[in-house]
Amino acid sequence: MTMLTIALPKGALLEETIRRFQAVGIDFSAFQDSSNRQLQIEDPSGRTRGLLVRAQDVPVYVEYGQAQLGIVGYDVLREKHPQVAHLADLSFGDCRLSVAVKADSPYRSALDLPPHSRVASKFINCARDYFQDIDLPVDIVPLYGSVELGPITGMSEAIVDLVSTGRTLRENNLMELEVLYHSTARLIAHPLSYRLNVDGLGNVIEALRQSSLVPASVN
Amino acid sequence: MTMLTIALPKGALLEETIRRFQAVGIDFSAFQDSSNRQLQIEDPSGRTRGLLVRAQDVPVYVEYGQAQLGIVGYDVLREKHPQVAHLADLSFGDCRLSVAVKADSPYRSALDLPPHSRVASKFINCARDYFQDIDLPVDIVPLYGSVELGPITGMSEAIVDLVSTGRTLRENNLMELEVLYHSTARLIAHPLSYRLNVDGLGNVIEALRQSSLVPASVN
């Protein structure tokens, strides 16, 4: 019997991800030690292994079967369309993918944007699909970070980016025009491992589903 | 007359990039203040603007003409093939893009890898081109970070990744098999701005070229 391996996302979702696993008896809190440099650890029970990877890499490890289970934002699933089983909405890590423009621009909806506007985004597939759906031809400018610089520098009329509190938009004098979709943390699994219920996968999934029905404030 | 705008790369190349501009009278040292949150600043002389962006985004700002000049690693130019003028090798930020495998593997060259091996990389175009050139069919696994986890977890037989000191490879028990190419920091420009010599671009370029001929230890 191999060891159940779970891919955990670095960044905004990590803290609550670790809490959810603790609630079902799997302890990956060592990933939060500032002294920890390990990206692969075993839970103290020795029955489960955790991989700490970039959020975008979580579905890759799960798709290739190197992790049987993973937690990742819906935004990553929408952008990359990985071949994984999408099992549950864990109802944390709320954010939304939105179109935003300069606050002093005359645009009040995405359809107000001039055809062939430039739209900067890290989510090039989501952005392309959205503007195709509303039949507005735009030039998507792929960026890796600090997408808000697009309108500030004048490189792009608009951006498509994740918004949680809206603070980054406000600080950069940007205004949300449209919401493409809302995103939360999702539980994903390697399809074959899930079907064959390897390493007691089904029990862990069921426990995580149950614990995600409990309001976070009660935990 | 518009203001000359220069795109600077976050990360490993930033410190020396700022030093090179200081040597030619352009001061972007404010980007190094830990209190600074601005991604766009003016040099104190008021003649030049600096944009602090992800290394991969530097050629995007230059290609779209939002920055007339930029500094970026050759690795980014090789991976993305942006439409920019490649002006000078600034001879700092040495590293190499290499194929590596587990130190205890039997492979001694890339051609020893079994056909259809998995190769994890952030440099999917460079990796694909390399294995096509040596006529070895492989399955490129695109990752965003911590590529060394590929062989450790058994997801991939090999990786293609940047190596500078080799410390990450050693710490993860990996061994370099082949060097695809060496990389250093490069000076790039927006082609049309360069041809038209807008905003005294030619003088800045010439000064940077001259200063890069002086050994760094003398500065």
- Greater confidence, B78 or B197? B78
C-alpha A71/C-alpha B119 separation (Å) is: 24
Residue contact B10–A144, C-beta within 8 A:
no
> Can you tell me whether residue A29 is helix, strand or coil?
helix
Q: What is the pLDDT of residue A119?
A: 98
C-alpha B85/C-alpha B198 separation (Å) is: 14
Q: Do the domains at B4-93+184-218 and B95-181 have one common CATH topology?
A: yes
C-alpha B174/C-alpha B131 separation (Å) is: 19
C-alpha B77/C-alpha B16 separation (Å) is: 19
A93 closest CA partner among A149, A170, A145, A20: A20
Q: What is the pLDDT of residue A64?
A: 95
How far away is chain A from the Cα of B145, in angstroms, using its nearest Cα? 6
CB contacts of A66 in chain B (<8 Å) are 153-155
CB contacts of A54 in chain B (<8 Å) are 143-146
Residue B216: pLDDT over 70:
no
Amino acid at A83: Q
Question: A194, A85 in Cβ contact below 8 A?
Answer: yes
Q: Predicted ipTM?
A: 0.90
Question: CATH classification of B4-93+184-218, choosing from 3.20.20.150, 3.40.50.1220, 3.40.190.10, 3.30.160.270?
Answer: 3.40.190.10
- Number of Cβ pairs < 8 A linking chain A and chain B: 68
> Can you tell me whether residue B92 is helix, strand or coil?
coil
**CA distances from residue A153 to A97, A120, A150, A172, B128 in whole angstroms, order as listed:** 21, 11, 6, 11, 34
Residues of chain A with pLDDT under 50: 216, 218-219
Residue contact A54–B145, C-beta within 8 A:
yes
Residue contact B54–A143, C-beta within 8 A:
yes
* Tens of pLDDT, residues A145-181: 999 999 999 999 999 999 999 999 999 999 999 999 9
Residue B112: pLDDT over 80:
yes
- Class of the CATH-defined domain B95-181: alpha beta
Residue B218: pLDDT over 70:
no
Question: Per-domain residue ranges for chain B?
Answer: 4-93+184-218, 95-181
How, if at all, do strands A185-189 and A85-89 pair? antiparallel
Q: What is the pLDDT of residue A198?
A: 87
C-alpha A177/C-alpha A80 separation (Å) is: 24
Q: What is the mean pLDDT of residues B179-194?
A: 97
**CA distances from residue B187 to B45, B96, B149 in whole angstroms, order as listed:** 22, 18, 33
How, if at all, do strands A95-102 and A174-183 pair? antiparallel
> Can you tell me whether residue B96 is helix, strand or coil?
strand
